[in-house]
Structure 1
């Protein structure tokens, strides 16, 4: 028995060491450095842009590297393809210009020792002038006001379960279930409350895309907020990963469910669930009665804008690279937002009048036009998940003061420094208690 225990212990230690020794490298063995000839990555209309290309191995130029390149309009078929031999590890490529506000993308790749290495960069032409392509239904806010009034007739009946395993000496964590429709639709989430007595601002954090488990984060609670992080599908986040994967595989791409029916489209209950999540936070006795924040990224960024437009209790928002923006952009010859419903590969099936009409009620651009509170918005140019053209279409439509932080080099991610900027900005918006 002791021998078996000793052998098992050795195997456990050894497997841990192997795992640590084979951790993923933080950088590539071969890296591309792509540098535009404009410091802010932006150009006047009709001005050509060029990109300097540097291929590095061990931080030094890889002489003789052969690269394949292609460039063209963002998210559309390329204009040109070619190849170059970098005798000194460097080259420069002119990628053309735009006659209308928008973006162009250069993609490069090289093969070294049998492995393919890739790089990409997007550059913009007067993107602050990008206007949305999606139409605004005449009854847009009338429709949504009716829907929010209707869902508020359903008692929230919050069910709270204390989660000792996730709580800390400073923060209590609860699993919460709230009800949002007569049909029994519910939303689950994690409520994180500072333990100290007193009144606190509340913060709602809607999730990114997908059907997957979420973990509680005490980050904002440690910053002095009562925070609520939710899922959107009515599935307990305490399910194991394997079960979630089975559900996701069976359910498929939820953003297509009832896409031609405004009253039954999947995101209707999602948007209403966000409204009611804020209502729940505002019902807590520890709420300070003044400050209501909503923040998220990607789908969560989209839902942050939607929530701020529909729930007038919200006092400020911070949205990173929001999805669901200007979905019809593809039908007008430019990039549309995630989930790319009308992209060239999908449009033969999805490009139908009833779909376009329905999605106008769910496009984030039309909610952005109804924002009335201060907002912090941030994204990067190298994002193919939520293309910058689609985000500009939404943010350019916001009629009130906004703080915009652009980090051109980022894709569908953000720097910690930018995240901290958003936290500092949120704090600057808090109203002091009398």
Structure 2
């Protein structure tokens, strides 16, 4: 009877798995919008009017007499105007006006077809490469961070490497790494991936996106000729259970707000110093080629890439995607900032002390201090790291820079852009 019960359970699980496979989520929506600006590059001059052509279709065929509601206004802020429009032949056009100062406008459209709500959005830029940050640059910014780095150097790095055969391949060796940072007994964890060829290689630091979650080894960078180090930022081993990570995530909550009113003890201080400590570790490896140090990441990782390049002069190149933590004070200046929206109406954090602390950690102030070549990329339809905020960071960089903009993308990037960034980094490091 026991064997029969086990068999029945296994059979049910197999059937459920097959049913799920047969009903996997659709990659597209049944009803779709096509939103087309009247400028191919989605960019406009100041005081130039923008209009958006709208198509609603099902099965690739325009839906006649579709009714849509719309609203438009400044990027991520309250709408300027809302209205309704009937699309006689499934198409229509909306003028969204202009802007007198550099920034982005956002159009949101909705329709109900067969009782189902569908929505989409588009953002277009007005003189986007002239956007300037609102965040102030503290007079003692450089001395504050130099002291922090010098103090951190007094703490032994004490690296502990554990070989991970279950992740390693015939071409790449993988190690779990623990290094000391910020305080004795406090650590940064990550996975080191090294080409298995006993040659010298450029080193690559890969900081993580936002959240408290497990990281995994990334072998792709090593397969391209880099010694790579992918880290977490919370001092938690990536090998604790998923359940423990969930508990820790709940306990930390909005970690970006911890000690936000105290610049000397703000949560991100140990995180930023952990980035320079990662460079300490990578450049100490015997396989390091002695000259090429690069950093790359997206979102929070894109922010930390800029921070690392701004803080650590050993970095020789960076690739940053839609960096978070950019121009945090924008919301109190009636403009869109980026993740984590700490001074938006969503959070009541805009005190003098908190604004002051944020200025020491804002990505735009590190971007101003970058002196090495950089590859940057963003999309215009991003509602997590808004284009207004990411462009304020990019425009703050005075060093050699290149940017790939895919305006249609949100808080994600195309594989083609990834490939361009890797090719660019390899070229900077002399990897063929």
Residues in 1 aligned to 2:322 and 2:328: alpha-carbon distance in whole angstroms: 14
Deviation for aligned residue 1:380: 0.6
**2:187 corresponds to which residue?**
186
Are residue 28 (structure 1) and residue 29 (structure 2) matched? yes
**1:396 corresponds to which residue?**
395
**2:415 corresponds to which residue?**
416
Cα pair 2:155 2:184 within 8 Å, conserved: no
Partner SS state of residue 25, structure 2: coil
**1:271 corresponds to which residue?**
272
**2:84 corresponds to which residue?**
83
Deviation for aligned residue 1:56: 1.2
**1:337 corresponds to which residue?**
338
Cα pair 2:225 2:431 within 8 Å, conserved: no
Residues in 1 aligned to 2:217 and 2:47: alpha-carbon distance in whole angstroms: 48
Are residue 233 (structure 1) and residue 234 (structure 2) matched? yes
Higher mean alpha-carbon deviation, 192-201 vs 364-373, is at: 192-201
Residues in 2 aligned to 1:3 and 1:384: alpha-carbon distance in whole angstroms: 52
Number of aligned pairs? 431
**1:376 corresponds to which residue?**
375
**2:358 corresponds to which residue?**
359
Residues in 2 aligned to 1:87 and 1:400: alpha-carbon distance in whole angstroms: 51
Deviation for aligned residue 1:64: 2.1
Are residue 159 (structure 1) and residue 143 (structure 2) matched? no
* Cα distance change of structure 1 residues 419 and 365 upon mapping to structure 2, 3 Å threshold: same
* Cα distance change of structure 1 residues 432 and 120 upon mapping to structure 2, 3 Å threshold: closer
**1:427 corresponds to which residue?**
426
**2:245 corresponds to which residue?**
244
Q: TM-score, normalised on structure 1? A: 0.97
Residues in 1 aligned to 2:421 and 2:81: alpha-carbon distance in whole angstroms: 39
Higher mean alpha-carbon deviation, 26-35 vs 242-251, is at: 242-251
* Offset from partner CA, 1:169-196 (integer Å, 9 cap, x none): 2111111110012342211101111111
Deviation for aligned residue 1:42: 0.7
Deviation for aligned residue 1:5: 5.8
Cα pair 1:50 1:94 within 8 Å, conserved: yes
Cα pair 1:290 1:431 within 8 Å, conserved: no
Residues in 1 aligned to 2:62 and 2:257: alpha-carbon distance in whole angstroms: 47
Higher mean alpha-carbon deviation, 238-247 vs 50-59, is at: 238-247
Deviation for aligned residue 1:82: 1.0
Return 5+ residue gaps in structure 1 as ranges: none
**1:207 corresponds to which residue?**
208
Return 5+ residue gaps in structure 2 as ranges: none
Residues in 2 aligned to 1:191 and 1:40: alpha-carbon distance in whole angstroms: 40
Deviation for aligned residue 1:7: 3.9
* Offset from partner CA, 1:222-274 (integer Å, 9 cap, x none): 11111100000001111222221111112110010000111000000000001
* Offset from partner CA, 1:104-134 (integer Å, 9 cap, x none): 0000111122221110000110011111111
Residues in 2 aligned to 1:110 and 1:164: alpha-carbon distance in whole angstroms: 53
Higher mean alpha-carbon deviation, 16-25 vs 273-282, is at: 16-25
Deviation for aligned residue 1:74: 0.8
* Offset from partner CA, 1:72-92 (integer Å, 9 cap, x none): 111111011111221211110
Residues in 2 aligned to 1:361 and 1:87: alpha-carbon distance in whole angstroms: 54
Deviation for aligned residue 1:93: 0.3
**2:41 corresponds to which residue?**
40
Q: TM-score, normalised on structure 2? A: 0.97
Partner SS state of residue 408, structure 2: coil
Partner SS state of residue 417, structure 1: helix
Residues in 2 aligned to 1:380 and 1:209: alpha-carbon distance in whole angstroms: 18
Residues in 2 aligned to 1:80 and 1:189: alpha-carbon distance in whole angstroms: 48
Residues in 2 aligned to 1:364 and 1:301: alpha-carbon distance in whole angstroms: 10
